[in-house]
Structure 1
Amino acid sequence: MKNGIKLSNDTFTFNKLRRFYIFALLTIAVTVILSQFLIQYNLESQLSDSRIINISGRQRMLSQKLTKEILILNFVPNKDKKDEGIKRINDIITLWKFNQNALEKGNDSLGFPKVMSKELSHLFVAIKPNFDAIVTAAIQFKNNQTAGLYYKENQELVQIILENGDVFLNKMNQIVGEYDKEAHEKVTLQSKTEYFILFFTLLVLLLEFLFIFKPTNKKVENLISKLLSSEKKAIKLAHDTELISEIKENSVKELKSLNYAMENTLLYCRVAPDGSIIHIGEKFSKLLDYNPFLSEKPFAQVLTPIEKEQQLIERIISEKQRTGWQGELSISGRRGQSIWLDMSMVPVIIRKEESELLIICFDITERKIAEEEVERLNAENIADKINQQKIISSKIVENQENEQNRIAKEIHDGIGQMLTGLKFSLESIDLNDKEKSAQKIEYLKKLSLDIIKGVRTATFNLMPPELSDHGINSALAKLAQELSKLTGKNILFINKTNFDIRMDSLVEINIYRLTQEAINNAIKYADSSHIVVQLSHSNAILSIIVDDNGKGFDVSAVEKKRNSESGMGLLFMKERIQYINGRVFVNSIVNEGTRITFNIPI
């Protein structure tokens, strides 16, 4: 009777463990499936958000491109170029209106949502008047240009486009920022959800180990002991034997299931205190290229063929077999490969004065390789920056030396020779010959004016007086005027926001040199006929934009060629603007033109 009660209790216990095990597996499966659904959903959402942010960024570019094309068209007298400009403006307006309508009202083909947040709705309502004003003015401008009418009205339309274009860009920046903020909030929520699911899955695995694997192991050992003793009473206890056989069959099935799960999911091994292997998992055997049926080796020799590594593992087993051990080990595989293991040794008491070590490992080789690669790339990056700084320093010294030689040559060959000529002419004046004296005096007046002009030109190149007297606005206007005269290019300066604030002298001279460098590059390399310099400001930022209609270039390709003159020019711009805590943005399209933007904090 008592034996029957015990067997019934064992059956109940195994059923309970089985239910726990099935429940744990179902829980893990549900969390994995739920995690995958969440990941796929959020990936689709992020793809949609990235497309929206990309199209929003293109809207800013298209508005600037539209403004640029209208400005160029307003100054182009050639009819062929005028027709091409009208066609480009028409294409830009069509694409711009389509994108804006898709952003504002949604678009199924692009995957844009038709419902948006209140913040985005308010921002689109706020930007619509500026958008409509630009579109209306651009279409009217295009029609006027097509008909060749209303020159004065065209100037007013250009002014409307310029005034609304800056406001549109600022509001579009707010929309892009809001899209980015909402996308970031979605990613943050997904991250938190994934962490929660991961934590919950790990908790289920831990509970499964504590309440299923360990109790099952103990129950199986007790069951086998009972089966061995029950075999001697088989004749007298036929009914009890039948029950025991049934329990045994169920237990073996559960044990096989648990053993299969452990063999194929964990890197584990059971090791005796002397280091010999009691049992090694199938997955662990494959990783170590070891067949337990063909040879019997101690655990240290199975783990690695290197003698030093074997001694380290044997020492750990000897010293930590009672307290356990956890840490990371680097071992050499039998094929010469390096393997990193996160190893845990857990002492298990089988019976009194009989114990073994349960060793559970995780293969972290890929993670370690990634960490080493990151360290290598960091070291290369530091070395590259040091070499880059050396090149910059040498180029700065070289440019300073060239500038000094150029100034000396201008003074010697230009002003110096004119002064020498002035001296000889003064000495050759004969006051008795009034007619020749009057002619020489007229010649001396002209020569004096040339000397004054040469001195002013050299002084303007060194430090324009407008910069120190009136500030960056006047200096840039003078620069555009002088270079337009010297080169014959159509160079236009526009102060869009009537900026007239004086800044620190170091900041002003750097802004002047940067703008001068950008204009010179457009003249020298871009083969452009029109250059527009725009100055604008907000409460915190002074912005200078240099646009040209030249041949353009591949920005990424030029930046990689740091030893070339053009590559070093861009690098010097970035280095110089860093001195005044500013930023430079270079956008160029081959065969269309280049835009260089300097943003300096006020």
Structure 2
Amino acid sequence: MKNKAATSIDTVSFKNLRRLYLFALLTIAITVLLSQLLIQYNLNSQRSDSRIINISGKQRMLSQKLTKEILILNFVTDTSKSKQEIIRINEIISLWKFNHNALEKGNDSLGFPKEKSPALTKLFVAIKPNFDTILNAATRLLENKKSHTKEQENQKVVQTILENESIFLSKMNEIVGEYDKQALEKVTLQSKTEYAILLFTLLVLLLEFIFIFKPTNKKVETLIFKLLFSEKKALKLAHDTEIISEIKENSVKELKSLNYAMENTLLYCRVSPDGKLIHIGEKFSKLLQYNPFISDKTFSQVVTPIEKEQIGIDRIIAEKQRSGWQGEINITNRNGESIWLDLSMVPVTIKKEESELLIICFDITERKKAEQEVERLNTENVTDKINQQKVISSKIVENQENEQNRIAREIHDGIGQMLTGLKFSLESINLDDKEKAAQKIEYLKKLSLDIIKGVRTATFNLMPPELSDHGINSALAKLTQELSKLTGKNILFYNKTNFDKRLDSLIEINIYRLTQEAINNAIKYADSSHIIVQLSHSNSILSITIDDNGKGFDIETAEKKRNSESGMGLLFMKERIQYINGRVFFNSIPGEGTRITFNIPI
């Protein structure tokens, strides 16, 4: 009666464990599903946010391009060129107006929402007067240009556009900042939600281990012990009374129940000390694709047909048959598939001088595959990063070497030769011939001025004195002025917000080098004739914008070609701007021009 009660309790316990296990699996599945749905929803939202931020940034470029084209139109006297400028300005106005209406009122085709936060609504209300003023002034200017009338009024209209354009850009920067802030808040919320889901999932797994796997392991151990104990007890009491016979019958029933549970839940088998298979569980035989009614095989022959793997298993059994063994083994089944088993070998004494080995396994193939895949991906990521850093390092060294060679050539070919000429001219002065001596002295004065100019040029290229003495505003003004004289290009600099503060020397030199790189790229690769450098700032951001009217390029294609000049140029700008915690934005339209914006926190 006690045995029946114990069997009933064990059955109820297994049912409860099964219910808990199914409930835990269902909870994890629902958690994963909700997490994926949330991630997909947030990803779709972020695509819309990135598109909005991109269009907002493009609005700033279009407003500046509109101002630039209106300035060009105002000074164009050729009728045919004036008509082309009017057509181009009309196209810019149409695109500018369409983008602004889409941002302000929403657009289904672009995926822009109609409803906005109170902060964005307030910003769009504040920017609308400036937008309307620029739009009306530009339209009136085009009408006057078409009719070739009201030239004085045109000057006032241009002045009105210039006055409102800087205000429009400043307010548009606030709108872009607000969009960026809201997108960041969404990403932060998503991150917190995902962490919460992850913690919940880990908690479920911990509870599953405590209340399911651990009790199940204990019950299996208990059942195995009861099985062996009952078998030993049944053999010892074979000739006892009917009461003993009844106890034996109940033990056999319990044994069958436990054996059924083991056959269908565990990968187990019994093996003799010499490695011969005594019995194999049904689930284990299915995994190994082995016929359990064949009893003349060793355990290693049942597990794998590969001779090398058989030798390794036989060695473990021979060495560990007394002490037992636990570990992971990799085998190949009869279909040539690789299987990983977590194997535990427990020595069991059946009689006084008779023993056998109980082998219990867990199939961990999927876990091993996942670990190998994670290791492979980590190795690939590390390799990619190392290769990328090697390319960057080699390019930096190459640029440094080129710069050193250029400076050496300037000193040798320019300053060096002029100093040599100065030396020879000084040695050739004949004080007795005063007239020729005076002529040579005048020549030496001119040569000295040229040497001083060469030295200043070389030192300016190394470290412009305006940067260390007066700051980034004066340094950029001097840079554009010198490059304009040197290249013959129309390079202009505007300090739109009258920025005159000094920054950290590391930040200033990096801003200077980034601007210098952008201008040189516009001259060297874009075939630009007009380049405009604009400096503006807010309370927390210093913004440098470089616009050119060159041939432009496809940003995605350039970024993919990491070994090309354009791809490496973009990469170096991103690397350098990160040193000062800044951000860089590239906007380019093939055939129309390029805008590069550097935003640096101040």
Normalising TM by the smaller chain, what interval? 0.7 to 0.9
- Pick closer, same or farther for the CA change 1:13–1:62 going to 2, 3 Å: same
The answer (yes or no) to whether the contact 1:586–1:594 under 8 Å persists in 2 is no
Q: Which blocks of at least 5 consecutive residues in structure 2 are unaligned?
A: 74-84, 142-153
Q: Once the 2 structures are TM-superposed, how far is the Cα of residue 522 of structure 1 from its aligned partner?
A: 1.7
2:219 maps to which residue?
Answer: 211
Query: Which residue of 200, 213, 219 corresponds with 2:207?
Result: 200
- Pick closer, same or farther for the CA change 1:205–1:503 going to 2, 3 Å: closer
Q: Once the 2 structures are TM-superposed, how far is the Cα of residue 66 of structure 1 from its aligned partner?
A: 0.6
1:585 maps to which residue?
Answer: 584
Q: Residue type matched to 2:408 in 1?
A: Q
- In the TM superposition, 1:138-287 aligns within 5 A as 138-148=131-141, 150-202=157-209, 203-211=211-219, 214-215=222-223, 218=226, 222=230, 256=260, 258=261, 261-262=264-265, 267-281=267-281, 284-285=284-285
Matched, 1:369 2:362: no
The answer (yes or no) to whether the contact 2:497–2:537 under 8 Å persists in 1 is yes
Q: Residue type matched to 1:44 in 2?
A: L
Q: Deviations over 1:337-365 (max 9, x none)?
A: 65544333345566776453232232243
Q: Deviations over 1:344-398 (max 9, x none)?
A: 3345566776453232232243135325524642356435634653454244313
Cα distance in 2 between the residues matched to 1:155 and 1:470 = 27
Matched, 1:37 2:30: yes
Cα distance in 1 between the residues matched to 2:105 and 2:253 = 71
The answer (yes or no) to whether the contact 2:584–2:596 under 8 Å persists in 1 is yes
2:342 maps to which residue?
Answer: 342
Q: Residue type matched to 1:51 in 2?
A: N
Q: Deviations over 1:147-200 (max 9, x none)?
A: 337433323321222222333333333322321221111101111111122223
Percentage of pairs with the same residue: 42
Q: Residue type matched to 2:213 in 1?
A: L
The answer (yes or no) to whether the contact 1:17–1:212 under 8 Å persists in 2 is no
Q: Once the 2 structures are TM-superposed, how far is the Cα of residue 71 of structure 1 from its aligned partner?
A: 0.9
The answer (yes or no) to whether the contact 1:476–1:493 under 8 Å persists in 2 is yes
1:18 maps to which residue?
Answer: 11
- In the TM superposition, 1:37-76 aligns within 5 A as 37-76=30-69
- Pick closer, same or farther for the CA change 1:398–1:337 going to 2, 3 Å: farther
Q: Once the 2 structures are TM-superposed, how far is the Cα of residue 131 of structure 1 from its aligned partner?
A: 3.3
SS at match of 1:75: helix
Cα distance in 2 between the residues matched to 1:192 and 1:165 = 41
Q: Deviations over 1:537-563 (max 9, x none)?
A: 577765534344544334454355454
- In the TM superposition, 1:101-120 aligns within 5 A as none
Q: Deviations over 1:8-29 (max 9, x none)?
A: x444443433333333222222
Cα distance in 1 between the residues matched to 2:125 and 2:312 = 76
Task: Compare 528-537 and 175-184 and name the one that shifted more.
Answer: 528-537
2:149 maps to which residue?
Answer: none
The answer (yes or no) to whether the contact 2:574–2:584 under 8 Å persists in 1 is no
Cα distance in 1 between the residues matched to 2:128 and 2:321 = 80
1:397 maps to which residue?
Answer: 401
Cα distance in 2 between the residues matched to 1:301 and 1:536 = 79
The answer (yes or no) to whether the contact 2:422–2:444 under 8 Å persists in 1 is no
2:78 maps to which residue?
Answer: none
Q: Which blocks of at least 5 consecutive residues in structure 1 are unaligned?
A: 1-5, 115-120
Task: Compare 212-221 and 178-187 and name the one that shifted more.
Answer: 212-221
Cα distance in 2 between the residues matched to 1:490 and 1:284 = 82
2:104 maps to which residue?
Answer: 97
Q: Deviations over 1:417-476 (max 9, x none)?
A: 9999x99xx99xx999xxxx99x9999999999898777656644544422331211111
Q: Residue type matched to 2:172 in 1?
A: G
Q: Residue type matched to 1:31 in 2?
A: A
The answer (yes or no) to whether the contact 1:133–1:160 under 8 Å persists in 2 is no
Aligned positions, number: 559
Cα distance in 1 between the residues matched to 2:316 and 2:113 = 60
Cα distance in 2 between the residues matched to 1:563 and 1:86 = 38
Q: CA RMSD in A?
A: 5.1
* TM-score for the superposition, normalised by structure 2: 0.74
The answer (yes or no) to whether the contact 2:274–2:318 under 8 Å persists in 1 is yes
- Pick closer, same or farther for the CA change 1:452–1:220 going to 2, 3 Å: closer
Cα distance in 1 between the residues matched to 2:488 and 2:459 = 22
